[in-house]
Amino acid sequence: MKRVTILGSTGSIGRSTLEVISSHKDKFKIVGLTAGSNIDLLEQQIKKFLPDLVAVEDKEHALKLEKRLGRRYNSVKIFTGIDGISYVAAYNESDYVISAIVGSAGLFPTLSAIKAHKVIGLANKEALVMAGSILMAEAQKNNSRIIPVDSEHSAIFQCIEGYKCSDIRKIILTASGGPFLKKAKKDMKYITPSEALKHPRWKMGKKITIDSATLMNKGFEIIEAHHLFGVPIEDIEVIIHPESIIHSIVEFKDRSCIAQLSYPDMKGPIAYALTYPERLNDVIPSLEFSKLGSLTFLKPDFKKFPCLSYAYNALKAGGTMPSVLNAANEIAVSAFLKGLIKFTEIPIVIKKTMNYHVIMPCNKLDTIIEADKWAKEKAKEIINSMVK
């Protein structure tokens, strides 16, 4: 039986992971859970899965949770803060860690799990965007296996199994195009948060849904793919595929291609990350090929979705620029969801923040954290000037 810790258990990926585990109780045991502030859901999860440890980011929420659980669940140890979450991530009774915390907050817990030699199902893309070279080096040093949970990177991971890196000519990441693929550029400034949160194919958390609408999510995935698979930026391509049936394609040096196809459901890549190199039975619905009809492929519109260009530019610039890209996006998306800026102002905030940044080498984690902090403050400053 595999012992599993979920970082970010109350989020979209965390909930889907628990659904997979609930359907295969004979194969998995939950030993650790962490959450930000949703203690209502965390309380339910604790009572159902009875983990050894939990961690809550906010101390006040942790105290409320402890009071609610009472004596009946006093065997469950509760930790607080980022240090507490990192402690749970490294718990010695855990074999597998699903890293599903959203945003830069997931960096330290993911690194903690890596240093504890865990097998990591990585859904927290921001950690790789910010500090990909450091995380991959630490994983190699600590014999920690990173298995991607993103549907696109899981697809690539499956396609290249058994091949050498030198066999790969290029990676083609597919993107649904989001809810505004067919919307005229001139009308995009009127997009509301509620409209942007209606993704046509995937059920996801709020931030990643907005990132998908701006195509920043695909931009992050370019950076992720570079770090995960060691593929140069010029060999990573994006293609719009609205049906979201093909999750990624790998073209090999002989010009033949292998693609991974499946019903668009995150439980598929989650289950694969938990059981690799084996597979579980009946995780997602089957594809009925006779009913699929035609599959569409389009070139991305970089002018309509400039965030995609900014991601390429950040990776080319290197150093702390990807961290700045991530931080500025995090603040801009939050501001949009609060109604402070327009949808079309998200890329403006990101571009301005990047333009102000003086790139530093990112061989130290402290430098990356400083860049992240600086970029968040600068992005807030830019947003405040726009709101006035």
CA 232 to each of CA 224, 292, 325, 326: distance values in angstroms, whole numbers, following the listed order: 11, 33, 19, 20
Q: For strand 168-175 and strand 146-148, is the pairing parallel, antiparallel, or unpaired?
A: unpaired
Cross-strand partners of 56: 35, 80
Q: What is the residue whose two structure tokens read 């396609």?
A: 159
Amino acid at 370: E
pLDDT grade for 106, boundaries at 50, 70 and 90: very high
Identify how many contiguous H helices and E strands the chain contains and give both numbers: 16, 11
- Fold: same for 2-148 and 154-265+300-387: no
How wide is the angle at C-alpha 358 spanned by C-alphas 354 and 364, nearest 5°? 105
Instruction: State the amino acid at position 55 in one-letter form.
Output: A
Residues in CB range of 189: below 8 A, 6 or more apart: 342, 343, 344
Q: What is the token pair recorded at 282?
A: 């009946």
Report the chain's C-alpha Rg in angstroms: 20
180: nearest Cα among 190, 167, 169, 166: 190
Beta bridge partners of 175: 240
Query: Which residues lie below 8 Å from residue 18, measured CB to CB, with a gap of 6+?
Result: 6, 9, 30, 45, 49
The pLDDT score that the predictor gives to residue 103 is 86
pLDDT, tens only, 162-185:
999 999 999 999 999 999 999 999
Distance CA 53, CA 25 (A): 19
3-class SS at 76? Answer: coil
Q: Are the C-beta atoms of residues 14 and 99 closer than 8 Å to each other?
A: no
CATH of 2-148, one of 3.20.20.10, 3.30.70.1150, 3.40.50.720, 3.20.20.120: 3.40.50.720
Give the number of other CB atoms < 10 A from CB of residue 281: 7
Structural contact between residues 224 and 129, judged by C-beta atoms closer than 8 angstroms: yes
Percent over 90 (pLDDT), the chain: 93
**Average pLDDT value for residue range 339-356:** 98
| Main-chain dihedrals φ then ψ at residue 341, nearest 5 degrees | -135, 165
* Domain 154-265+300-387 CATH assignment equals 1.10.1740.10: yes
147-162 tens-digit pLDDT: 999 999 999 999 999 9
Per-residue pLDDT, 388: 66
Task: Enumerate the H helices of the chain as residue ranges.
Answer: 12-22, 39-49, 59-69, 81-89, 107-115, 125-141, 151-159, 193-196, 206-214, 216-229, 267-275, 289-292, 307-317, 321-337, 346-356, 365-387
CA angle 13, 15, 21 (to 5 degrees): 100
Average pLDDT, the chain: 95
Please say if the pLDDT value at position 20 is more than 70.
yes
- Report which DSSP code applies to 234: G
Ordered by start, the domain boundaries in the chain are 2-148, 154-265+300-387
What percentage of the chain's residues is helix, strand, coil (to nearest 5)? Answer: 50, 15, 35
Summarised one tens digit per residue, pLDDT across range 259-308 is 999 999 999 999 999 999 999 999 999 999 999 999 999 999 999 999 99
For residue 318, the model assigns a pLDDT of 96
pLDDT of residue 199: 78
